[in-house]
Amino acid sequence: MKRIITVTAGLTIGALALAGCSGGGSEGDGVAEDGSMTLTLSAWSVATTPEFQLLADAFHEKNPNITVEVKDYDPAEYNTLLTTDLAAGKGPDIITQKEVKFLTTFQEGGQLLDVSDVELPEGIGGADSYKVDGTAYATPYRQDSWVLFYNKDLFEQAGVDAPDGSWTWEDYDAAAEELAANLDGAKGTYQHSWQSTLQGFANAQNDADLLAGEYDYMKPFYERILALQSDGAQESFNTVTANQLTYQGEFGKQKAAMMPMGTWFVATLISQQASGDADDFEWGIAPIPQLDASTTGTENTPVTFGDPTGFGINANISDDKAQAAKDFLAFAASEEAATALAEIGITPALLTDPVIDAYFGAEGAPQDELSTFAVQTHETRPENPASNKTAAVQNILNDMHSAILSESMSVDDAIAEAEGRVATEVG
């Protein structure tokens, strides 16, 4: 969902530079004599991603004179198509920030309004990800974080103790090995092919600076995963990529007993079990395993990663509509909106008790205390720093990820190559 944008940062920045010279305002500048207006909002996959229309309708209900029109973009070409519209002066009034690593692309192109004056509720997550030199250029409405999904039935079948919130990665590895040994055909765990499934945890739990150009701290994480692959405790990277395995299918069809994944999978798994696309089994959510015991246990706060999804405002919006757009951003971040999002399985950026109650109120959602703790309690560090260097660095680290897990390069050689490329290509 968040990892299918392939447009390069350089291309996007160049197009936005042209957009900055276009002089065009946002689409639909008019405000009627009675004060009614229409705000346009960029989105993607609207037919299968209900959050956008839900927020648009709820805001209109509270503000009958303001209609929010959702513009549907191809998810695979979202940034490219949005950039083209901005360059032509047809850009939407409210710009959904699909990936944090492209925030600075829009900001440096002069396309985002300063929204530092939008009031956000206390405790909301992800707000700092949208700040550049202290100025906010977007506000969050959802914040997915990575947790550990596990199949309670397979754990019981294998006679392995289920996660209890106290696991380090060593505990996770041991459980994966034992599960694989005791189950008939199912793997102990499944790691999808994305670089974030490993690098995100290495960065967050080492509190590392992704842009510093030194990546030796990732070595132990890669050595662990290579060992799990070699022992058959998880599917190999080469099999995952060659056979185009899906994480929904591997976990939902009980081909793996555990899976690190973002909280967006909660809604998907509930839906697929209801439809029969996933098997009927009991599952739960645990905190992601930790680097060491200092952040394990329900009395501590586990460290994980994840980027928010947020809304920015077109810098060329008319003055008459700017405040209404800011009001929409504030509403989308509110507890009222967060509760409505939680009711459809979206993980909001604000996780108050009423929001969590709504989140786990859906039929088919796990009801145990550990699942609630895992979703509500964590320090979520950003996957992508707000920098114009982030996209280029991530591309290099993705090459490193593939080279190591496909075993086409050694861990040391691949890290050394990545460090050299970051130094010479990014600076």
User: Using H for helix, E for strand and C for coil, what is the string for the chain?
Assistant: CCCCCCCCHHHHHHHHHHHHCCCCCCCCCCECCCCCEEEEEEEECCCCCCHHHHHHHHHHHHCCCEEEEEEEECHHHHHHHHHHHHHCCCCCCEEEECCHHHHHHHHHCCCECCCCCCCCCCCCCCHHHHEECCEECCEEEEECCEEEEEEHHHHHHHCCCCCCCCCEHHHHHHHHHHHHHHCCCCECECCCCCCHHHHHHHHHHCCCCHHHCCCHHHHHHHHHHHHHHHHCCECCHHHHHHCCCCHHHHHHCCCECEEEEECCHHHHHHHHHHHCCCCCCCEEEECCCECCHHHCCCCCCCEEECCEEEEEEECCCCHHHHHHHHHHHHHHCCHHHHHHHHHCCCCECCCCHHHHHHHCCCCCCCCCHHHHHHHHCCEEECCCCCCCCHHHHHHHHHHHHHHHHCCCCCHHHHHHHHHHHHHHHHC
Q: Per-residue pLDDT for 151 more than 70?
A: yes
Q: What is the architecture, at CATH level 2, of domain 146-302+385-426?
A: 3-Layer(aba) Sandwich (3.40)
- Copy the structure tokens of residue 382: 């950003």
Tell me the pLDDT band of 9, cut-offs 50, 70 and 90: very low
- How far apart are the C-alpha atoms of 297 and 282, rounded to whole Å? 23
pLDDT, tens digit, for every residue of 38-67?
999 999 999 888 899 999 999 999 999 999
Tokens of 396: 């290099």
| Residue 96 phi, psi (nearest 5) | -70, 130
pLDDT confidence of residue 13: 32
Residue pLDDT, tens place only, 314-330: 999 999 999 999 999 99
Largest pairwise CA distance in the chain: 72
Single-letter amino acid, residue 65: N
Interatomic CA distance for residues 286 and 117, integer angstroms: 37
Q: Which of 17-21, 43-47, 121-125, 401-405 has the lowest mean pLDDT?
A: 17-21
Return the domain boundaries, the chain: 9-142+308-350, 146-302+385-426
Write down the pLDDT at residue 277: 94
Q: What share of the chain has pLDDT > 70, as a percent? A: 93
Residues 363-374: what's their mean pLDDT? 94
* Full-model pTM: 0.84
Q: How many residues does the chain have?
A: 427
Mean of the pLDDT values across residues 129-157? 97
CB contact set of 231 (below 8 Å; sequence gap of 6+): 177, 180
How many separate helices (H) and strands (E) can be counted in the chain?
A: 17, 12
Question: What mean pLDDT is predicted for residues 56-80?
Answer: 96
- Placement of tokens 């689409």 in the chain: 27
Q: What is the pLDDT of residue 29?
A: 61
Q: Decide if domain 9-142+308-350 falls under CATH 3.40.120.10.
A: no
Residue 202 near residue 378, CB atoms below 8 Å = no
Q: Would you say residue 10 has pLDDT above 50?
A: no
